[in-house]
Chain A
Amino acid sequence: MSKKAVESIYDALFSLTDIRVILRSSAPNHILNLEEKEAVRNAILRVEEDIRTMRKELIE
Chain B
Amino acid sequence: MKCGMGPEVRDLEEVSINLDPIQAGGRLTADAMKAVIAYGDGYSVCDHCVRPNRLDYIKKPGIEQFHKDLAGFIGMDQVRVVPGARRGFQAVARTYICKGDPVLVTSLSHYTEFLAIEESGGIPFEVQAGEDRIVSADAVAETIEEVIRREGRNPQLFFLDHVDYQFGNFHPVRDLIKVAHTYDIPVLYNGAYTVGIIPVNGRDIGADFVVGSGHKSMAAPAPSGVLGTTSERSDEVFRTTKVRGDRTGRTFGIKEVEMMGCTLMGVTLIGMMASFPHVKERVRHWDRELSNAEMILGSLLSIEGTEVLSEYPRRHTLTRVDTTKSFDVVAKKHKKKGFFFTSSLKEKGITGIIQGATRVWKYNPYGITREQAQYVALSFREIAQENGLNTI
Contacts and interface: CB of A to CB of B under 8 A. Distances in A.
A13 interface: yes
Contacts of B30: 17-18, 20-21
A20 to B, nearest CB: 7
Contacts of A17: 30, 33-34, 37
Task: Select the residue from A17, A23, A28, A29 with max chain B CB neighbours within 10 A.
Answer: A28
Interface in B15-53: 15-17, 27, 29-30, 33-34, 37-38
Contact of B33 (A20, A25, A28): A20
B16 A27 contact: yes
Contact of B34 (A14, A26, A28, A29): A14
Interface string B278-300: 00000000000000000000000
Nearest to B14: A23
B17 A27 contact: yes
Contact of A28 (B27, B349, B369): B349
A24 B37 contact: no
Interface string A1-43: 0000000001001100110110111111100000000000000
Contacts of A23: 14
Nearest to A17: B33
Interface residues of A, number: 14
A28 B15 contact: yes
Nearest to B38: A10
B13 interface: yes
A14 B13 contact: no
Interface of B: 13-17, 27, 29-30, 33-34, 37-38, 348-350, 369, 371-372, 375
Given A25-B372, A28-B350, A29-B349, 19 more contacts: A10-B37, A13-B37, A14-B37, A18-B30, A21-B30, A21-B33, A24-B13, A24-B14, A24-B27, A25-B369, A26-B369, A26-B371, A27-B15, A27-B16, A27-B372, A28-B16, A28-B17, A28-B375, A29-B375
Interface of A: 10, 13-14, 17-18, 20-21, 23-29
